[in-house]
Structure 1
Amino acid sequence: MTPSLFQPAPPSAPRANNRGVLSAAANGLDTFITHHGGDLDRVFGHAGIDPEQLRHPTLSLGLPNYCQVLEEAARQTGCDNFGLRYGEQFQPQALGLLGYVGLCSGTLEEALINFSEAFPFHQHSTLIQLVDQGECYRFDYQVRHGAILERRQDAELTMGMAMNLVRHVLGPKWAPREVLFEHSRPQDWQEHRAVFDAPVRFDQACNSLLIPKRELTGKTMPGHDPVLLMLVKDAIRQLGEADTGPDLLECTRQLIRTLLHHGEPVLEQIAEGLNLTDSALQRKLRDFGLSFSQVVDQVRQDLALQYLRQQTMSISQLAPLLGYSETSAFSRAFKRWFGVSPRQWRQTPIN
């Protein structure tokens, strides 16, 4: 364990309060992107992440931004299996509190249980469970955030993280019985079989890792430390207590996303959905330095880029999903945001 894990944050450090994913999940991401030839400013800027946030492992990143930065890194580096490769080398200790709650456990079986139970404090809007299937444990993972349409890289990264927790004890040649992914089979899917050394199936209901129970029996964690485990669990609990309520800005965005396909979002309707008066919502948004129309614009921009990357959708099909009654209105707005038309943006190879 690094000595600094429980040192108090310096006065200038942001307050830990997880409403997305703890930035420990991006430990070493900047170096990994650079190693694969990516432009950090472009990758992080496109995903709306300030690299300074990565210096504070208990600071929260927006889950949509986190998933987007992985997808963007895959596109810009030309490494289609970016998440798979990043997860292959991601060791448990790099996960900060979540990693150490596993590493300090008594046995490997307890480590998997503690890891699964602590995961909701590490990342929100996510299904995470360890299911007893008799001969095997099934480790399930699935992002459940309405704004996240692209999440393949994150899923492959997370399965790699879970695998490496087991390999920390059983050695680098350990392999799960089977690996399942909810996304479709990628072009270089043979790399997945090589990384996991196991059968890999795609287009499944959930991302899962099947772990034979007999391989866990009697396996003691080499770094077992009951006192440290207690401290780590307490630190995780405090993170949960710091998360004292829903993030108003994110709730506003999610409600806008939900209602966009019905047309132009109306302040009164969004405020009512949040149990606020119109003036109260406007006042709270001003605390974030935003107006209601700016929030709507941000949501539309994010969704527009996500939809445009799905080559199966035409520009005319996309416009109504963003609340525009006419394609021309969407095209004008897009050019105002990005300086080019949606069609020109889609035709740019780097996008």
Structure 2
Amino acid sequence: MGTTDDTLSSGSFNLILHAARQRGADSLVLCKTVGVDPAVLQNPDARVPIRLVQALWHEAIRVTGEPDLPLQLGELINPLSLGVLAYVMMHCPTLGQAIEKLCHYQDIACEGVQTVGQLAGQRFSILLKLTSNAIVYPEYTLSSEFSVYQSAFRALTGRMVAAEEIRFGFPEPENRSAYERVFGPAKLVFGADETRLILDAVWLETPILNANPGLFPLFEQHAEELLQKLRQPDLSFRVKQEIVALMNGEEPTLGLVADRLAMGVRTLQLHLKETGVTYQQLLDDVRRNLAIQHLREPNFSTTDIAYLLGFSEPSVFYRTFKKWTGSTPGAYRQQTVSSRLA
């Protein structure tokens, strides 16, 4: 299955499919090849693991024979069709405020890339930081992000917004001329310490065309709800629910639980850490409670319970249960029966 990490919105995944289709690829075949159910992509709030998005980039470029496809993304799709994040940006009064919302709600579109805005004098930078270890083709991710951002800024303002300089945190590619075509007249620097797009700060004051202040709160509320779903405060409870649902004779892995929560592994670990628990602690809590529940019933042998709870061997269950309670499963069951008879 590869590394399970952060996720991308189904809308963003669909944009890549749309671009590949315009270059002759069959989107259904691409989905089948990378292991994504097309039905999932019909839900605008669904999430796709970034490892599958990376596989999609690789396969789409192979099938189309277009190594520049990530660079072309902003030209081949409607950059304002990115779902609720685009709607929030469309109804901000200025480009600067739209970029501020882009940075705040970035995780809705893609958890694996952090977007940070920085103002220094008369220059404004948009810094991209890769946060997912599932991103194995950083040049595809970073170049497509800036391609879409540039197109979105132009569509939002009706102006030819252009960077003064763009620094890429990967080596100079063979297709440098394609970068010059897409991002010209910006100065391009490859092999930089970080990936950064630098604008004249004057652009931040550019009004957004057709912004409707009355619609802004509606879309921002939806965006905030989606963001909170990714950072659910009662996450421990939801994780335990998923562990119980998956407890069918095999130990539920962190990756599988993260997938069911539409969340990346590292994101889930981070949010659990913020609440003061680890996945292993939650798994142990669920197993202990289920073990005690099953031992109070006469229908399951201790061997049956061990396998039901996903332990590889009954002996491992016996040792673990004694560590939890101070008693072996058999002794605990006998104590329970004795207390009932008394």
3-state secondary structure, aligned to 1:93: coil
Which whole-Å CA distance do the structure 1 matches of 2:158 and 2:177 have between them? 22
TM-score after normalising by structure 1: 0.63
Match of 1:328 in 2: none
Aligned positions of 1:124-273 closer than 5 A: 124-171=111-158, 173-197=160-184, 198-217=186-205, 219-243=206-230, 244=232, 245=235, 248-249=254-255
Task: Indicate if the aligned counterparts of 2:95 and 2:203 stay in contact, CA closer than 8 A.
Answer: no
Of structures 1 and 2, the one with the larger relative CO (CA 8 A, separation 6+) is 2
Identity of matched residues, % = 20
Contact 2:154 2:161 in 1 (8 A): yes
- Report deviation, 1:43: 2.6
1:135 positional shift: 1.5
Provide the secondary structure at the position in 2 that maps to 1:128: strand
230-239 or 137-146: bigger deviation: 137-146
Q: 2:330 maps to what in 1?
A: none
Distance in 2, Cα, partners of 1:167 & 1:110: 15
Q: Any unmatched runs of 5+ in structure 2?
A: 1-5, 240-253, 267-277, 291-309, 313-342
- The answer (yes or no) to whether the contact 2:168–2:189 under 8 Å persists in 1 is yes
Distance 2:97 2:265 in 1: 39
Q: 1:94 to 1:255 in 2, by over 3 A?
A: closer
Taking the TM superposition and a 5 Å limit, the aligned residue runs for 1:33-182 are 33-171=20-158, 173-182=160-169
For the 8 Å contact 2:96–2:203, the answer to whether it is kept is no
TM-score, normalised relative to structure 2: 0.65
What's the CA shift for 1:83?
A: 0.7
Per the alignment, do residues 175 and 61 of structure 1 end up closer, same or farther by CA in structure 2, a change over 3 Å counting?
same
SS of the counterpart of 1:131?
strand
Larger radius of gyration: 2
Q: 1:42 Cα shift?
A: 4.1
Deviations 1:293-351 (A, max 9, x none): 9xxxxxxxxxxxxxxxxxxxxxxxxxxxxxxxxxxxxxxxxxxxxxxxxxxxxxxxxxx
1:166 maps to amino acid: F
Aligned alpha-carbon RMSD (Å) = 3.1
In the alignment of these two chains, the number of paired residues is 252
Structure 1 residue aligned with 2:284: 277
Q: Displacement of 1:277 after TM fit?
A: 3.0
- Residues 80, 172 of structure 1: alpha-carbon distance in 2 compared, 3 angstrom cutoff: farther
